[in-house]
Amino acid sequence: MNNIAKELYEQFKIGKATVAFADEILDSLSDRFRELDGIMEYNQLKVIHAMQVCRVQEGYLNGTTGYGYNDLGRDSLEAVYANVFHTEDALVRPQITCGTHALHLALASNLFPGDELLSVSGKPYDTLEEVIGIRESRGSLKKYGVTYRQVDLKEDGSFDLTGIQNAINEKTKVIAIQRSKGYQTRPSFSVAQIGEVIAFIKGIRKDLIVMVDNCYGEFTETIEPSDVGADMTVGSLIKNPGGGLAPIGGYIAGKKECIENAATYLTSPGLGKEVGASLDVLRSFYQGLFLAPSVVNAALKGAILAANLFEKLGFAVVPNSAEDRHDIIQAVTLGSADAVIAFCRGIQAASPVDSFATPDPSPMPGYDSDVIMAAGTFISGASIELSADAPIREPYAVYFQGGLTFAHAKLGILKALQNLIDAGIVPAL
């Protein structure tokens, strides 16, 4: 690193020893980063090819208002997503407010009273508990007569195939798989692992609909769950595929019937995909998707640096320093509420927006414990941007993700570490 950059780190009150420690680790990661660059290049070419095949043109970047009839840009974007994910159809809309909404939309539109939803990846992410009805909530699937069961993962974090086979019954309609770890310290699933369990499920009953929660996983590998048999692949545009530019939105890519059901549920019977104005977001949706492989690459490099750095300091990290990456999330078990808070405040202090704010744990809609969230982001809550969050509960693990550039991700990691050092939680380096 040049001396000018070192001086700038001092302006962020990051000690020279902290910077030197990180640079020593970075020197050992050049081969790993080169492999990530290969994945990024493949995905970049895949996205460009999809845009060319779908003949994206400048006029498609402009939005529509009102009903959104004949919105060629919206329809083309959905064709691009279907091409990228190799699916029959896709629904990509600003009217989908977040990842949880996209998942609820996919589930509620394809499940009916008397049907059963089966999660084969154990307990779902916290915000889905009220969607399903695990925690009582107005409008949950449970309220509409949809039952729920789950098969917990085995102790080693793998799928329990025997348990899955025993759980599937005549009422089972949709199988849910969560790719990322959520607020757990289990490994995230590779696309290959997801493909193996989908093949097993389809071997039991071909008519079962498999939905994969793909949040945080897009473009971390060269294939997606839709390439290995998922009937619906679901995610948020303010995570990976929005590339840091999409201001809102979600997507569902999959079988045509499933997408038509989702579109009808989102709008109205008889209207489906034909309505839904794109307003002024199409340019950011297209350009965000174009940038997504590169942005995800930066986030992955930041996560790998964090894993190596905190593992070397003796903290449990998931994934560990050497494991392959299947999402952008890095879990670090810090062991105390004070450590979690200090880490998150370091991330906030390294942000370009609201760096002066001090995150505190507080109740959050959809969560059953206080949560601390650090995110000085250009798009509110965009977790493809540098952010960290954690529920204030055992085992006191923090979840770090994002970074539109690697330089920013590195700064956030170093500031978080420096905060832990300054608080006496980590010994001076």
Q: What is the extent of the structural domain holding 185?
A: 60-289
Q: Categorize the per-residue pLDDT at 100 as very low, low, confident or very high, splitting at 50, 70 and 90.
A: very high
Task: Mark whether 168 and 315 lie in a shared domain.
Answer: no
Whether residue 180 is predicted with pLDDT greater than 80 in this model: the reply is yes
pLDDT score recorded for residue 2: 58
Residue among 269, 265, 233, 305 at smallest CA distance from 33: 305
Six-digit token string for 399: 């979840």
pLDDT tens sequence across 349-406: 999 999 999 999 999 877 778 999 999 999 999 999 999 999 999 999 999 999 999 9
- Among 258, 289, 320, where does a domain finish? 289
Number of domains in the chain: 2
Task: Mark whether 277 and 309 lie in a shared domain.
Answer: no
Q: Where do runs of H (alpha helix) occur along 313-387?
A: 337-349
Whether residue 417 is predicted with pLDDT greater than 90 in this model: the reply is yes
186, part of any domain: yes
Lowest mean pLDDT among 152-156, 184-188, 239-243: 184-188
Task: Mark whether 138 and 199 lie in a shared domain.
Answer: yes
18, part of any domain: yes
Task: Mark whether 277 and 392 lie in a shared domain.
Answer: no
Cβ neighbours of residue 106 closer than 8 Å, sequence gap 6 or more = 211, 232, 234, 252, 258, 262
55, part of any domain: no
Task: Mark whether 110 and 244 lie in a shared domain.
Answer: yes
Task: Mark whether 210 and 224 lie in a shared domain.
Answer: yes
Task: Mark whether 76 and 211 lie in a shared domain.
Answer: yes
Task: Mark whether 28 and 71 lie in a shared domain.
Answer: no
Task: Mark whether 199 and 321 lie in a shared domain.
Answer: no
- Among 268, 289, 310, where does a domain finish? 289
Give the span between the Cα atoms of 282 and 314, in whole angstroms.
45
List Cα–Cα distances, 354 to 345, 349, 374, in angstroms. 11, 8, 10
In this structure, are residues 91 and 252 in contact, taking their beta carbons and an 8 Å threshold? yes
Pairing of strands 330-333, 316-318: antiparallel
Handedness of CA 422, 370, 181, 281 (dihedral sign): negative
CATH number of the domain to which 299 belongs = 3.90.1150.60
48, part of any domain: no
Helix (H) or strand (E) holding 209: strand 209-213
Helices vs. strands in the chain: H and E counts, helices first: 12, 12
pLDDT score recorded for residue 6: 79
240, part of any domain: yes
53, part of any domain: no
In this structure, are residues 152 and 122 in contact, taking their beta carbons and an 8 Å threshold? yes
Whether residue 50 is predicted with pLDDT greater than 90 in this model: the reply is yes
- Among 254, 289, 324, where does a domain finish? 289
235, part of any domain: yes
Six-digit token string for 146: 């949809």
Q: How far is CA 353 from the centre of its chain?
A: 21
Task: Mark whether 264 and 349 lie in a shared domain.
Answer: no
pLDDT score recorded for residue 368: 77
Give the span between the Cα atoms of 84 and 65, in whole angstroms.
27
Residue among 365, 364, 363, 411 at smallest CA distance from 385: 411
Mean pLDDT across 160-174 = 98
Task: Mark whether 204 and 244 lie in a shared domain.
Answer: yes
- pLDDT over 90, % of the chain: 94
Taking only Cα atoms into account, the Rg of the chain, rounded to an integer number of angstroms, comes to 21
CATH number of the domain to which 172 belongs = 3.40.640.10
Give the span between the Cα atoms of 177 and 150, in whole angstroms.
10
pLDDT tens sequence across 238-285: 999 999 999 999 999 999 999 999 999 999 999 999 999 999 999 999
Mean pLDDT across 15-34 = 96
Give the span between the Cα atoms of 279 and 15, in whole angstroms.
47
Task: Mark whether 96 and 199 lie in a shared domain.
Answer: yes
pLDDT score recorded for residue 317: 97
pLDDT score recorded for residue 181: 87
Whether residue 1 is predicted with pLDDT greater than 80 in this model: the reply is no
Give the span between the Cα atoms of 38 and 35, in whole angstroms.
5
pLDDT tens sequence across 290-340: 999 999 999 999 999 999 999 999 999 999 999 999 999 999 999 999 999
pLDDT score recorded for residue 3: 67
Lowest mean pLDDT among 91-100, 120-129, 144-153, 365-374: 365-374
pTM of the model: 0.96
Mean pLDDT across 27-47 = 98
